[in-house]
Structure 1
Amino acid sequence: MVQIKKTNADVTRYGDLIEDFEPAPLTDNSKVVLEKRYLLKDENDEVIETPNEMFIRVAKALAKPEKDYGVADNKIKQIENLFYQSMASLEFLPNSPTLMNAGTGAGTLSACFVLPLTDSMEGIMKAAHDAAMVQKFGGGTGFSLSEIRPTGTPIATTHGKACGPIAVLKHLSSVSTLVTQGGKRDGANMAVMDVHHPNILDFIECKTIEGQIHNFNISVGASDEFMEAVKNGTDYALYVKSNPADEKSERVEAGRLDARKVFEKIVHGAWLNGEPGMIFLDEVNRNSPVKHVGMITATNPCGEQPLLPNESCNLGSIDVAKFIKDSNGTVEIDWKKLSKTIRLTTRFLDNVIDANKYAIPEIEEMNLGTRKLGLGVMGFADLLVKLGVAYDSDKGIEIGRKIMAFFKEESDNESRDLAIERGPFPKWTGSEMEKRGEEPLRNACRLTVAPTGTISMIAGASSGIEPIFSLAYRKHNILEGETLFYVDQNFENICRYENIYSEDLMEYLSDGGSLLDRDDVPESVKNLFHTAADISPTSHVLMQSAFQESTDAGISKTINFPNEATIEDVENAYMLAWETKCKGITVYRSGSRQVEVLTSGHDTSNDKTRDDLNGESANDELDNILPEKSVNGYITPMDRPQELYGITSRVKTGRGNLYVTVNMAGEKPFEIFTTHGKAGGNDAAMAEAVSRVSSLCLRSGLDPKEIIEQLRGITDIPAWDEGNLVRSVPDALAMVLDKVVTNKSSNVISEATQKSMFNVTDNAQQPSMINVEEKKNINEDTISVTVAANAASIPNCPECAVGTLAFEEGCQKCYSCGYSKC
């Protein structure tokens, strides 16, 4: 029996309060993000608290649970001040819901949840209801589809047939959309299916058409049996319950599939648009401390938190780059200071569980039962820069391994001390740890490397354990014709020290250029500042694996690939992740999303057009382009070549200036992009929608004349432009496409950068990116552009429209305005 001391806590292990403490200064970006998303507002949407008042609010709310454990008032005040200083110094920040909701009496403090989904009408509708309640509170949800019986299975009670897991997934997706119609944006969701489910092929391909089931990430739950079969080139078993109506009935074999072919479909989907991800369920459950409670079959939306049904993520991250000291002229990690912060924030997160509000009683019961925490890391890439160590070096990976081992040691020690003060987590009884006679823990899990999204922007830190995504990026507005840059602070400092800082360099980097290609930058600087795009997928996986060794939950990390990466490259990364005992993997191949404005692509030498395919008698060539059974036999759009020439025209419409870019593949139009002179709003959204659908038609082999015929004549607010009547935005797009198709712009041969087309205002005197000699060869309203493989190969932010998205931590993030979506 564990002895619980209901006495005053020993707070000396957290260190002393700092006298004359001053909050850390906030960057301009931090202030924008805080005002937009975190600080309390009145009924008129006016901000009514400062960032410092937010930290005070959160600290007070999270110190209150101390009273329930018999801590004296003076100690509670001391703990409150320690909590405050840890946040106001930006050394630690809890997840967004805690910052937003703590002390307000509204919303949850947890970021995400896994909900049960059982194979009955009642179970499915219960899951939909619970998801709606959780998302109403602002949380994301994860589900396992593995228990849902296969499509077409007879149902004894109704004499009908089962709709299957994909139909259930679409239902849950529609519920998520419904809940957020009056809110800010769709909730985040994750669906996981066991690779042994008979509908696994349908699941793998359920998001082949981008935009379907758009508010769910999907991952395949892979077993060691399956991965070994992949490795050995053999088949593997599919299973169903012997009695689908009885969840406790045994599993029986229902067929077999070629493991290699299934794996290839998974990898092809990930190569195509980043999905599905993969979760290694045997590795997850091998390390689960609560196997006696149940087996884990699903994760939260970003995949880093494998959870039992009705468990939640209670997350927070420490900016390790702020734990640096100078020791006799040598920069090193301040382990003593870091130890105190790890211990303090473990206590903070344990208090979150007690202070939390729960959407449904089942979630409250499970969270109080296992008391799982997710303390993690941000600023790791910044730390390595300060230590002078390259991210993708052996030393960099070893530092990551050492840091997380230290986090584990200190958080475990704190959880043991909390178990003495407060008691172990209630479901400790019956656990393997108890049976082995180990010291009790307060929390079933202590560590997670979760997405830091906007909290890393508030802290001025690099994201999680990710490398630096970009060394420079544009601010999302332009003042007096000058573009403003945000530059990584460490990089700027070193550039100024080395006397290599220039506006030209910053502009080049913000346009997607690689530092490695610059002759004016010393090799030492190039080697230190490897960005995500410069780092090999193997190094990405090995870093994730190094952190995973000491992390009892999972790691949120994106394995970045260049656009020209092959399917085999992605396959190798998936196998390496399994072999190095990662719990999951998420990949992103640059330019692979259809929503991207500019992408770089693969080697075009083997590309085939629809005409090429029509002349071939064998079906295997078609299979190389169209995935087997792809989306019920529908056409899949052609992949984008590595480099395309385009023509951009300005057209005056009744809705303002419209810039239409038509990129060509040989002699044929391949894709269309539109940009309004005034970005944002419904007009820009409608123009983008028309251009996306038109691009999809062109990439699917439709005659452009068919598109022109459908769009010409649509009337909104007519306007005259150079003697031509432009009836609407769709009409304008059709006019430009018609001009291209009929070779009216064949004399346009000059090259310019795409950037000048996508950062414009209504002012006709915008500075030109083209020199005087080039202008002589350009007609009045069109220019030809070359879209380089390394230029701006990531999509624009859907919120601010000008900032570009960073794909990291399994999420999308805009460094310009603070937008984040997982």
Structure 2
Amino acid sequence: MVTKNHTPTKNGLLPTPPLPKDLPTVHLTDNARQVLIRRYVRRGEDGQPVETVEEMFWRVAYHVAKVEEQWGNDVMQVARDYYRLLTSKKFFPNSPTFTGAGTPLGQLAACFVLPISDDMGREPDGIFQTLRDAALIQQTGGGNGFSFSRLRPKGALVKSSAGQATGPVGFLRVYDHAFGEIAQGGTRRGANMGVLRVDHPDIEEFITCKTDENAITNFNISVGITDAFMRAVENDEEWELRFPDVRSPRYREVRGTLEQLEAAGVPIVTYRRVRARDLFNKIVKQAHHNGEPGVLFLDTANRSNPVPHLYPLEATNPCGEQWLGPYENCCLGSINLNEHCGPDGTVDWEALRQSVVTATRFLDDVVDANAYVPAVPQLKEAAHRARRIGLGIMGLADLMYHVGVRYGSDEGQEFAAQVMEFIRFHAMKTSIDLARERGPFPAIKGSIYDPENLTWTPPKPLTPYQRDWGRPALDWNEVVAGIRQYGIRNAAQTTIAPTGTIATVAGCEGYGCEPVFALAYIRHVNDNGKDLQLTYVSPRFEKALLDAGIPEEKRREIFEQVLKEGTCQNIPDVPESIRNVFVVASDITAEEHVRMQATLQAFVDNSISKTINFPEHATEEDVATAYMLAWKLGCKGLTVYVTGSREKVVLETLATAEKKKQVEEPHKAETPQQLPIWHDLKKPRPRYLPGFTYSIQTPLGKAFITINENGDAQPFEVFVNTAKAGSDTAAVSEAIGRLLSYILRLASPIEPARRLREAADQLLGIGGGRSLGFGPNRVRSLPDGVGQILDEYLRQREERLKAQSQGSTSPTPSIPAPESDEFLLRNQPLLEFGDLCPECGQAAVVNEEGCRKCYACGFSEC
């Protein structure tokens, strides 16, 4: 029996019927179950769970199915169908649906796009009204995307106040600061996207506004690029930076984009002309520097805009996979391809079809079940007007391992296209069936799906298919005929979104449409206070080795090599047929990444959240080539990340800082003498210093510690480098080094070596979340590891000085080596390839899917 009561229970949940006893339990790994309990299971006032994992799934299934009442359907039966779909792990909605369904908040969407007009208080989408709306959304855990392109350039005349305009970047900083304060107030910080058109007069300031990575921390930024600009880059032409004449009376009368204003007769002022290639190279240089800005291809997105009569597309959600109109959101969910594997390396196409049908219906119900943010009524109105849904995928790489197709290859590109086309086809057929039952989306008149003027055409692969994986035939004429007869329920149907937490719970090795990141690693597990270290090996990789007849001892050797190298490509003992299939992210070229994104984009009507990872030796030209290729292949946007790219910037920054610390006479050879008064300023740095560099394994990865000495063989400065520069781990390392250097360089009657001994004693023994090694080789934390190195250096320094006083050759500093490679493997911390996770503390946060996620616990910044 379905209750009509919407009053929360004492546990803060809306009334939900008991979980039927005949429904199955969900089979999850211990890690996945803990992630679900930590993230999605509701808790009482005492902080303890008030529902089981199964009850959580039932709560979501029931409250989404409850909207089926209005169509006269059996709610309990639909809820059972949804529960079985979820607990089979064949489909998961996005995280807000898990956390919000059946709660008083009831906000089930992850991200929104809000408009910003050039107005300070008169318009409902003015600068500060939109900031208010965005803050309310962030309080519910949602993220926002904004286009700042309609704001007048910095310094432009403000007629009403006779002042000068702040400009888009200035207001971007205002928004960033406001969102930072919201996070500090106790709410988890929501992600945001800021977009500026490539022809805006302030575009150059926008491109470089995040050069200082600490300046704007609550926003991703992207440049909105037009076809005209890309053609100007190709042809090496000049490019106009322009904006409407704000003094024109028509400027206030007409609302719209630059093109719409120009068409309406508003004069457009050219502020200056630049060389298109110079502007393009500035974008490329900054993206190569630290991954931002991304690029969004405006014209490509608008060519497939389903509702061009309502608005042009100007901005996306924070991860770039959702192009949305003003106040719109999208209900997202992902099909788990890993759970649709057939026997003997085949795809279970029928099971996949059934999952797509049920998932599409589920997401359409979410549109009605969502409470949105009542204080911003435009959100619900916009959602119901177009009824956008975003059905995507996760575990593509898992399915490709199963089928035996190499990710990134020509064959892999075709396989991905065939899978995505199958999903899009059946999602659209289901949406047409829903339109027949419930009616099409209200704004269908004038859209590309208007049955009376149908302009939508079926999607096609980038290249003709040449291979057969047993996929049933698809007749797109059925879809065309269905739209002409019934319309379609959802203006948009497919998206490939980030799947951090849900992919972890689902047990996928490959998140979203990304390749697998690692075939083997060490996972640390806390067992009643004891740190257990478990070797994780890709189940499919292990099975492939077993099927190839490789004996257990040899498999162990292979696993150890994979742990060391991160890939199996350079291991001769792995058969070539396995190496060809079991590639990981580092084995795939940037061009292959782009082509995989483009081949999927052909069958995704919205967009794709994916990161194009470049190796650390990649050049700016490589990034430029990827941008040009992505535009030509029809991608709607691109996010790049050059491995270790931030390190160059940090080194440059350190060099600049050191230059500032040099004495006024930088070529002076003698070392300044110690000052006897303790409160004097710190000593300046000489031009040249000898030193020693040590390395040590720590729970956060290998650390390199450099100790430089002055002319009196006294320690003068310390540098600590760990992990990728630009990461949180590197920041902590740099902070330790700076503080130690400051202590050493303060003028004081206490000699530096004695100061360093005191500092070492303070660092030694500091414990962290986990330790590395045993006995004398045990390193309890990064500070403990630094302390051990300082202690070793000071002991060796004494030996060196003693040997020099006796006329002997000074010994070379060295660190006791671990017992063996096996020791390193056995005590290697979890996934020593990422940044520190703010939730679990593991060094396992990586850039992937246009987002940052933790491979240890499933935490996602998106």
Verify same fold: TM over 0.5. Answer: yes
User: Which residue of 1 is the match for residue 222 of structure 2?
Assistant: 219
Rounded Cα–Cα distance in structure 2 between residues aligned with 1:31 and 1:476:
16
Rounded Cα–Cα distance in structure 2 between residues aligned with 1:176 and 1:610:
34
Alignment check: 8 A CA contact 2:524 2:532 kept: no
Alignment check: 8 A CA contact 2:119 2:127 kept: yes
Does the C-alpha gap of structure 1 residues 337 and 713 become closer, same or farther in structure 2, counting only changes over 3 Å?
farther
From 331, 334, 341, give the equivalent of 2:355: 341
User: Which residue of 2 is the match for residue 802 of structure 1?
Assistant: 842
Does the C-alpha gap of structure 1 residues 576 and 740 become closer, same or farther in structure 2, counting only changes over 3 Å?
farther
From 199, 203, 208, give the equivalent of 2:206: 203
Rounded Cα–Cα distance in structure 2 between residues aligned with 1:436 and 1:514:
53
SS of corresponding position for 2:144: strand
Alignment check: 8 A CA contact 1:278 1:586 kept: yes
Does the C-alpha gap of structure 1 residues 648 and 332 become closer, same or farther in structure 2, counting only changes over 3 Å?
closer
SS of corresponding position for 1:445: coil
Give how far 1:481 is off. 6.9
Does the C-alpha gap of structure 1 residues 38 and 663 become closer, same or farther in structure 2, counting only changes over 3 Å?
farther
User: Which residue of 1 is the match for residue 488 of structure 2?
Assistant: 441
Give how far 1:20 is off. 7.0
User: Which residue of 2 is the match for residue 101 of structure 1?
Assistant: 100
Alignment of 1:199-348 (within 5 A): 199-243=202-246, 246=252, 248=255, 249=261, 250=266, 251-326=268-343, 330-348=344-362
Give how far 1:273 is off. 1.1
Alignment of 1:374 onto 2:410: no
Rounded Cα–Cα distance in structure 1 between residues aligned with 2:796 and 2:733:
20
- The worse-fitting range, judged by mean Cα deviation, of 191-200 and 517-526 is 517-526
Rounded Cα–Cα distance in structure 2 between residues aligned with 1:304 and 1:413:
23
Give how far 1:495 is off. 3.2
SS of corresponding position for 2:117: coil
SS of corresponding position for 1:516: coil
Does the C-alpha gap of structure 1 residues 769 and 816 become closer, same or farther in structure 2, counting only changes over 3 Å?
farther
Q: TM-score, normalised by structure 2?
A: 0.75
SS of corresponding position for 1:490: helix
SS of corresponding position for 1:672: strand
Deviations 1:347-395 (Å, cap 9, x if unpaired)? 1101101010111101111001111000001111000111011112211
Question: Is there any run of 5+ residues in structure 1 with no aligned partner, and where?
Answer: 1-17, 615-643, 652-656, 676-683, 699-703, 754-766, 775-786
User: Which residue of 2 is the match for residue 485 of structure 1?
Assistant: 535
User: Which residue of 1 is the match for residue 192 of structure 2?
Assistant: 189
Alignment check: 8 A CA contact 1:101 1:107 kept: yes
SS of corresponding position for 2:411: helix
Alignment check: 8 A CA contact 1:474 1:485 kept: yes
> Which structure would you say has the larger RCO, counting Cα contacts within 8 Å and 6 or more residues apart?
1
SS of corresponding position for 1:818: coil
SS of corresponding position for 1:517: coil
Question: Is there any run of 5+ residues in structure 2 with no aligned partner, and where?
Answer: 1-19, 256-260, 455-482, 663-690, 711-715, 767-781, 801-809
Alignment check: 8 A CA contact 2:558 2:574 kept: no
Rounded Cα–Cα distance in structure 1 between residues aligned with 2:233 and 2:601:
23
Alignment of 1:409 onto 2:457: no
Alignment of 1:537 onto 2:590: yes
Give how far 1:486 is off. 2.6
Rounded Cα–Cα distance in structure 2 between residues aligned with 1:412 and 1:713:
79
Rounded Cα–Cα distance in structure 2 between residues aligned with 1:576 and 1:189:
27
Q: TM-score, normalised by structure 1?
A: 0.78
SS of corresponding position for 2:627: helix
Alignment check: 8 A CA contact 1:29 1:816 kept: no
Give how far 1:336 is off. 2.0
User: Which residue of 1 is the match for residue 770 of structure 2?
Assistant: none
Amino acid at match of 2:243: V
Amino acid at match of 1:43: E
Deviations 1:120-143 (Å, cap 9, x if unpaired)? 112111111111100101101111
Alignment of 1:63 onto 2:65: yes
Alignment check: 8 A CA contact 1:219 1:277 kept: yes
Give how far 1:449 is off. 0.5
Alignment check: 8 A CA contact 1:476 1:800 kept: no
- The worse-fitting range, judged by mean Cα deviation, of 23-32 and 578-587 is 23-32
Amino acid at match of 2:35: V
Alignment check: 8 A CA contact 2:793 2:813 kept: no
SS of corresponding position for 1:131: helix
SS of corresponding position for 1:333: coil
Does the C-alpha gap of structure 1 residues 128 and 736 become closer, same or farther in structure 2, counting only changes over 3 Å?
farther
Does the C-alpha gap of structure 1 residues 262 and 54 become closer, same or farther in structure 2, counting only changes over 3 Å?
same
Alignment of 1:692 onto 2:734: yes
Give how far 1:734 is off. 11
Rounded Cα–Cα distance in structure 2 between residues aligned with 1:517 and 1:266:
35
From 483, 498, 517, give the equivalent of 1:469: 517
Give how far 1:798 is off. 3.6
Amino acid at match of 1:283: T
Report how many aligned residue pairs link the two structures. Answer: 710
Give how far 1:266 is off. 1.1
Rounded Cα–Cα distance in structure 2 between residues aligned with 1:231 and 1:315:
37
Alignment check: 8 A CA contact 2:313 2:323 kept: yes
Does the C-alpha gap of structure 1 residues 39 and 142 become closer, same or farther in structure 2, counting only changes over 3 Å?
same
Does the C-alpha gap of structure 1 residues 658 and 465 become closer, same or farther in structure 2, counting only changes over 3 Å?
closer
SS of corresponding position for 1:577: helix
User: Which residue of 1 is the match for residue 144 of structure 2?
Assistant: 141
Alignment check: 8 A CA contact 2:153 2:168 kept: yes
- The worse-fitting range, judged by mean Cα deviation, of 372-381 and 185-194 is 185-194
Rounded Cα–Cα distance in structure 2 between residues aligned with 1:713 and 1:488:
58
Rounded Cα–Cα distance in structure 1 between residues aligned with 2:277 and 2:203:
14
SS of corresponding position for 1:180: helix
Alignment of 1:116 onto 2:118: no
- The worse-fitting range, judged by mean Cα deviation, of 317-326 and 180-189 is 180-189
SS of corresponding position for 2:836: coil
User: Which residue of 1 is the match for residue 503 of structure 2?
Assistant: 456
Rounded Cα–Cα distance in structure 2 between residues aligned with 1:559 and 1:302:
13
What is the RMSD computed on CA atoms of the aligned residues? 4.1
- The worse-fitting range, judged by mean Cα deviation, of 456-465 and 430-439 is 430-439
Rounded Cα–Cα distance in structure 2 between residues aligned with 1:412 and 1:163:
45
Amino acid at match of 2:603: S
Q: Which has the larger radius of gyration?
A: 2
Report percent identity of matched pairs: 40
User: Which residue of 1 is the match for residue 745 of structure 2?
Assistant: 709
Alignment check: 8 A CA contact 1:590 1:793 kept: no
- The worse-fitting range, judged by mean Cα deviation, of 242-251 and 798-807 is 242-251
Alignment of 1:346-365 (within 5 A): 346-359=360-373, 360-365=376-381
